[in-house]
Amino acid sequence: MTLTAPALIGRAWDEIDVGESASITRLCTPNDLIVFAHASGNLNPVNLPGESEQETGRTAVAPGMWCASLFSAALGNKLPGPGTVYRYQDIRFHARVEAGDVVVATVTVREKLPGNLLVMDCRLEKENGVLVAIGTAEVSPPPTRLITDGVVIPALTLVPRGKFSRLLEACRGLPPMPTAVAAPTDENSLGGAWEATKEGLIAPILVGPEAEIRAAAAKIGWDLKDAVIEPVGSVHDAPARAVCLVHEGKAEAVMKGNIHSDEVLKHVTKSDGGLRAGRRISHAFVLDIPGHQGLMIISDAAINILPDLMTKADIVQNAIDLAQAIGIAEPRVGILSAIETINPAIPSTVDAAALSKMAERGQIKGGLVDGPLAMDNAVDLEAARTKGIHSSVAGRADVLIAPNLEAGNMLAKQLVFLSQADTGGLVLGAKVPVMLTSRADDEHARLMSAAFAVLYGYWRRTGQSRVAEMTT
């Protein structure tokens, strides 16, 4: 998609008369304010949609220099036109522009000065006549008439959470997954379940003290008409009852609410009456990282503290399964360590080499596995080339397997809190998907965890990726 303009004419000084004027009309959109923030580096929250409402309680207003830039557009496109060079600008503001306002920028020739200079009056009004700004500009028109043969530039498209949006779209048309939500007794956890319900991802069974659930629902404005409440005496009884609902065939997934992860995992992983399915249970984060081309999976960062070799093999297989479910047909799996060479003094390098060989021999299926890899040469192709690493995984990893929980947890949270990655998580290897979000996660992380559960459940039932089906 491109942005085009017809041929433009830049007129020379001697072709322009005093009193001539030209105008452009522009609708100020929320995207305009976001793009201007990126271009200028001005992150004042009063100028940013969403941030302004949260921080000040008021609608975002356009920065003054966004308004002033419309004079530049009028001068450069209309009068004098292409080839114009700015020399001076003053401006005084009388009103503010908000997203949704239509404004008209007009420039008028006040005076012609020797030395190829024009003095221009500048006036910006809303379409209803409200004065926004006035000022004066001095410009140099092109030395001779300049005619362009049309302008074509790439269009800008802002797609917040773009890669995750594709996954949500793939879930549409699938039946809601009956989900036992353990202890959704606060606004955050219940809000995540509500968002997933509104998106058609889950059919919620809210397990917990009924009074607390209803109180939280009242705070977020959910009438609970789409939910089933399974009352228990205490939030601490909720995980056990949620697991029982799976065994009773009433739930096809479990979602953690306002309760510690350990309490949920205790009932999910117990040998008698839990949800074990023969493979070691592990957790995977899925991240949409700004500037990174594809999705990234990091495992295990929440369950297995110091996994041994065979546990890591199950962690790798679980992550490969999830990657295939979300549309990565043959995921590239990088086994991380501090270095990319095998050193017996660093046990994770030995495990990484063994896992690579296990994949080569078919003990791990469905993905390309390589290691040991340091973080740089796992995700950056140039770093891999610089270090002389030649493999189909190095520099291109879709899945990163951490040597232990501490490393994985720090890596995932660094990407979320310092690199502004969007994330969600899923417990894998159990009889049903388990959404094990942090109590600090926002509603979107909980929503995406539900989407991963739906896509993972579909993949387990059909052997096919719903995402891949939607893109073929």
Q: pLDDT tens-digit profile of 35-78? A: 899 889 998 989 988 778 767 778 889 999 999 999 999 999 99
Quick check: is 376 in a domain? yes
Asked whether the beta carbons of 344 and 314 are under 8 A apart, the reply is no
Distance CA 306, CA 312 (A): 9
Quick check: is 410 in a domain? yes
Percent of the chain with pLDDT over 90: 75
Q: Using 50, 70 and 90 to split pLDDT, how confident is the model at 161? A: low
Strand order in the sheet with 368-373: 228-231, 202-208, 177-182, 253-256, 434-435, 422-428, 282-288, 296-299, 399-401, 332-336, 368-373
Q: How far is CA 130 from the centre of its chain?
A: 38
* Token pair recorded at residue 209: 């003290």
The larger pLDDT score, comparing residue 115 to residue 3, is at 115
Distance CA 83, CA 85 (A): 6
Work out how many domains the chain is built from and give that number: 2
Q: What's the whole-number mean pLDDT along residues 433-451?
A: 84
The residue length of the chain stands at 472
Q: How would you classify residue 463: left for phi > 0, otherwise alpha for psi between -120 and 50, otherwise beta?
A: left
Quick check: is 436 in a domain? no
Q: Which amino acid is at 265?
A: L
Distance CA 195, CA 44 (A): 29
Quick check: is 253 in a domain? no
Peptide bond before 314: cis, by omega within 30 degrees of 0? no
Q: Which amino acid is at 145?
A: R
**What CATH number is attached to the domain comprising 143?**
3.10.129.10
Examine the fold and report which residue of 109, 127, 154 is the final residue of a domain before the chain moves on.
Answer: 154
Distance CA 329, CA 327 (A): 6
**Could you list the residue range(s) of the whole structural domain that residue 111 is in?**
2-154
Quick check: is 196 in a domain? no
Q: Which amino acid is at 468?
A: A
Quick check: is 70 in a domain? yes
Q: What does the pLDDT read at residue 157?
A: 53
Q: Which residues contact 69 (CB under 8 A, 6 or more apart)?
A: 36
Q: What does the pLDDT read at residue 51?
A: 77
- C-alpha distances (whole Å) from 181 to each of 9, 190, 209, 427, 446 are 64, 9, 12, 14, 11
Q: Using 50, 70 and 90 to split pLDDT, how confident is the model at 347? A: very high
Quick check: is 189 in a domain? no
Residue of 393, 407, 442, 390 lying closest to 307 (CA atoms): 407
State the CB neighbour count (10 A cutoff) for residue 148: 15
State the average pLDDT for the chain: 91
Q: Across-strand partners of 368? A: 332
Quick check: is 237 in a domain? no
Distance CA 323, CA 365 (A): 12
Examine the fold and report which residue of 127, 154, 181 is the final residue of a domain before the chain moves on.
Answer: 154
Distance CA 174, CA 253 (A): 15
Residue 3 has pLDDT above 60, yes or no: no
pTM surpassing 0.85? no
Per DSSP, 430 falls in state B
Q: Across-strand partners of 287? A: 296, 423
pLDDT in tens, 385-430: 899 998 999 999 999 999 999 999 999 999 988 888 889 999 999 9
Residue 326 has pLDDT above 50, yes or no: yes
**What CATH number is attached to the domain comprising 301?**
3.40.718.10
**What per-residue string of b and e applies to 373-406 under the rule 16 or more CB within 10 Å gives b?**
bbbebbbeeebbeebebebebbbbbbbbbbbebe
Residue 17 has pLDDT above 90, yes or no: yes
The larger pLDDT score, comparing residue 440 to residue 259, is at 259
Asked whether the beta carbons of 108 and 16 are under 8 A apart, the reply is no
Percent of the chain with pLDDT over 70: 95
For residues 287 and 148, state if they share a domain.
no
What string of H, E and C letters represents the secondary structure of 40-90?
HCCCCHHHCCCHHHHHHCCCCECCHHHHHHHHHHHHHHCCCCCCCEEEEEE
Q: What does the pLDDT read at residue 1?
A: 37
Half-sphere exposure in the Cβ direction for 117 (13 Å, CA)? 10
Residue 2 has pLDDT above 70, yes or no: no
Examine the fold and report which residue of 125, 154, 183 is the final residue of a domain before the chain moves on.
Answer: 154
